[in-house]
């Protein structure tokens, strides 16, 4: 595997505006009623005047050890040459085993294609054109970073080396590739 | 919708619904009934006549699995592409292994039914199949052995299918395949009895029926033990696993468990065993108790599917 694409979400900079969510919809033609990405605003936590919110990015975690891939009976869910967890639409029968098995509950059945769907780091759209994912580009506060963590000079590699980050549900052994920089005021919650 | 991030419908943790619960029930029933039918034949001295219990098992095996598979296909979002699952195999996936097993189990079950029911075929206007039954007859032993082994696989695989998902603490336990296998046996025994009594006019006092009754108690005890193991494993794991224990005292699935699984599925059959022998051998009571066991197992599958998915770790 030559590349190790990761995403970093800085929860300090995030304001929960959903610009990423909307950019994702239009870039990837996500149909009405389903979504690849939500930023849930949770809270408030703490006592006034130190109230704070938690901005929880809910999207595919691009697990290195992906439960959705190991359960898929047909091999429709697979890991591509760059390590991206992807779906062959034409091999998917819609058994929903992957939807049930994903611990992050971010897989869904696309109502148009009837195949399983989720965030794929814009692999078919912007990444294919050599651009950054739509959500990263659209973010007004630059809370999102994306890149190849195997490249030690990349922005994401530097970030992961210098900032405290956490990933969700690591105890399940999924090795998620979405990293979060926790809000300074809040504790780490995963 | 009163949040900024949009529709939450797709995030419902309960992905698999009652259709899957019915499929799991049918697969367990089919496997359990075949295991009991063949097992009893092996233990019986008389291997010449086809006993009503064996005939019932030979019939239920393929019929139940076909109904179950119909549920499964109907539940796919692309039902007309179901053949994709038959040509692409990811052997890391429990479902793919199960499909491969079912691909051998279902035709073998039909072949075995033709063999065992050979003399009944003309009665059902299926006499034209007798020729096939004659051709299969020399392979009876090998078909029987293979079918028995595959039935163990099918019965347990339904448990492995849902225990393979580590997101759900109640499902992700080693007990589940064993629980599903024994509860499949209990459903299989009950269904064999119903069909033997109603279709093959077996006598309620026949030694076959008595023999099947003797396994009833150990099977119920094993089922209860596995349930206790399941819940104590959750309790001792603690954390998010222990929160799943709430399914036992809150919500609709708690009622399904206590009324359906424990009350109808365990208590009624156990209490019936205490009745005087004359009452126990009445056809009506036998049928009632068998239907209670079947209801209990169906309720158990629903409880596991729904309550299991409701708690995420
Ligand atoms: S987050 Fe879910 S859908 Fe994404 S790779 Fe992990 S298991 Fe698969
Ligand atoms: S829904 Fe499609 S991608 Fe998901 S496990 Fe089933 S066949 Fe594989
Ligand atoms: S990377 Fe692309 S597909 Fe994934 S959430 Fe961002 S915009 Fe959507």
Q: What is the pLDDT of residues B183-218, one digit of tens each?
A: 999 999 999 999 999 999 888 888 888 888 888 899
Average pLDDT of every residue of chain B = 94
A102 lies in a domain? no
Residue A48 falls inside a structural domain? yes
- Any domain includes A148: yes
Residue A188, pLDDT above cutoff 60: no
Long-range contacts, stretch B76-80, CB < 8 angstroms, 24+ apart: B76/A93, B76/A94, B76/A95, B77/A93, B77/A94, B77/A96, B77/A109, B77/A114, B77/A115, B78/A92, B78/A93, B78/A94, B78/A114, B78/A115
Could you tell me if the CB of A87 is within 6 A of ligand 2? yes
Contact status, residue A20 vs residue A135, Cβ threshold 8 Å:
yes
Structural domain includes residue A89: no
Give A151 to chain B, closest Cα distance, Å: 31
Structural domains of chain B ordered from first start: 5-308 (1.20.1630.10)
Residue nearest to atom 3 of ligand 3 (CA): A119
Q: What is the pLDDT of residue B246?
A: 92
In a domain, A95, yes or no: no
Q: Which of A19, A23, A40, A121 for a ligand 3 pocket mutation test, highest count of atoms within 8 Å of Cβ? A: A121
Residue B298 has pLDDT above 60, yes or no: yes
Ligand 2, atom 6: closest residue by C-alpha: A95
Q: What is the 3-state secondary structure (H, E, C) of A39-70?
A: EEEEEEECCCCCCEEEEEEEECCCCCCCHHHH
Tokens of A190: 């995963």
Query: pLDDT tens, A132-157?
Result: 999 999 999 999 999 999 999 999 99
What pLDDT, on the 0 to 100 scale, is given for residue A184? 77
Per-residue pLDDT tens over the stretch B124-147: 999 899 999 999 999 999 999 999
Q: Mutation test of the interface with chain B: which of A97, A106, A119, A173, choosing the one with the most B Cβ atoms within 10 A?
A: A97
B92 CB neighbours in chain A (<8 A) are 70-71
Q: What's the total number of domains in chain A?
A: 1
Q: Do A74 and B89 touch (CB under 8 A)?
A: yes
Q: What is the mean pLDDT of residues B104-125?
A: 95
- DSSP sequence for B262-277: IIIIIIHHHHHTTS-H
* pLDDT at residue A187, as a whole number: 52
Region B4-26: mean pLDDT is: 93
pLDDT digit string, tens, across residues A52-103: 888 999 999 999 999 999 999 999 999 998 899 999 999 999 999 999 999 9
Q: Is the ipTM of this complex over 0.85?
A: yes
How much is the pLDDT for A26?
A: 95
- For residue A84, being part of any structural domain is answered with no
Domain that holds residue A11: 5-64+121-181
In CATH, what number is assigned to the domain containing residue A170? 3.30.70.20
Q: What is the model's pLDDT at position B306?
A: 97
pLDDT at A11: 94
* Residue at A77 is within a domain: no
Q: Under an 8 A CB cutoff, do A71 and B93 touch?
A: yes
What is the dihedral sign for C-alpha B104, B110, B115, B116? positive
């Amino acid at each position: 595997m030559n590349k190790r694409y990761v995403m970093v979400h800085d929860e300090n900079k995030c304001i929960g505006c959903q610009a990423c969510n909307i950019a994702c919809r239009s870039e990837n033609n996500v149909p009405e009623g389903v979504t690849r990405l939500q930023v849930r605003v949770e809270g408030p936590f703490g006592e006034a005047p130190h109230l704070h919110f938690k901005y929880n990015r809910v999207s595919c975690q691009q697990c290195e050890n992906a439960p959705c891939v190991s359960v898929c009976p047909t091999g429709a869910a697979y890991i591509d040459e760059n390590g991206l967890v992807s779906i062959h639409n034409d091999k998917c029968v819609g058994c929903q085993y992957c939807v049930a098995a994903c611990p992050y509950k971010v897989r869904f059945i696309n109502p148009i294609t009837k195949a399983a769907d989720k965030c794929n780091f814009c692999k078919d759209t912007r990444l294919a054109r050599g651009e950054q994912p739509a959500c990263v580009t659209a973010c007004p506060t630059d809370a999102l970073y994306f890149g190849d963590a195997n490249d030690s000079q990349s922005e994401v590699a530097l970030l992961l080396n210098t900032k405290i980050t956490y990933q969700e549900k690591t105890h399940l052994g999924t090795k998620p590739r979405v990293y979060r920089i926790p809000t300074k005021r809040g504790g780490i919650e995963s | 919708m009163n949040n900024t991030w949009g529709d939450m419908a797709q995030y419902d943790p309960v992905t698999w619904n009652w259709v899957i619960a019915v499929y799991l029930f049918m697969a367990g029933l089919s496997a359990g009934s075949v295991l009991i039918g063949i097992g009893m034949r092996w233990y019986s001295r008389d291997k010449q006549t086809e006993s009503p219990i064996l005939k019932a098992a030979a019939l239920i095996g393929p019929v139940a699995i076909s109904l179950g598979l119909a549920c499964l296909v109907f539940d796919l979002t692309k039902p007309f592409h179901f053949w994709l699952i038959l040509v692409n195999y990811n052997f890391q996936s429990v479902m793919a292994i199960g499909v491969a097993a079912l691909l051998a189990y279902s035709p073998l079950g039909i072949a075995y039914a033709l063999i065992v029911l050979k003399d009944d075929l003309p009665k059902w206007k299926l006499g034209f199949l007798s020729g096939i039954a004659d051709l299969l007859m020399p392979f009876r032993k090998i078909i029987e052995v293979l079918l028995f082994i595959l039935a163990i696989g099918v019965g347990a695989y339904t448990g492995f299918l849902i225990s393979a998902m580590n997101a759900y603490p109640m499902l992700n336990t080693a007990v589940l395949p064993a629980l599903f296998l024994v509860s499949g046996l209990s459903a299989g025994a009950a269904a064999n009895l119903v069909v033997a009594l109603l279709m093959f006019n077996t006598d309620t006092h026949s030694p076959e029926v008595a023999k099947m009754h003797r396994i009833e108690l150990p099977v119920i005890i094993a089922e209860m033990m596995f349930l206790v193991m399941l819940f104590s494993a959750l309790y001792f794991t603690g954390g998010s696993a222990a929160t799943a224990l709430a399914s036992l005292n809150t919500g609709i699935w708690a009622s399904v468990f206590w009324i359906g699984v424990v009350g109808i599925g365990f208590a009624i059959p156990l209490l019936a065993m205490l009745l005087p022998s004359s009452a126990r051998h009445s056809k009506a009571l036998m049928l009632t108790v068998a239907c209670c066991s079947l209801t209990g197992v169906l309720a158990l599958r629903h409880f596991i599917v729904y309550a299991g998915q409701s708690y995420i770790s």
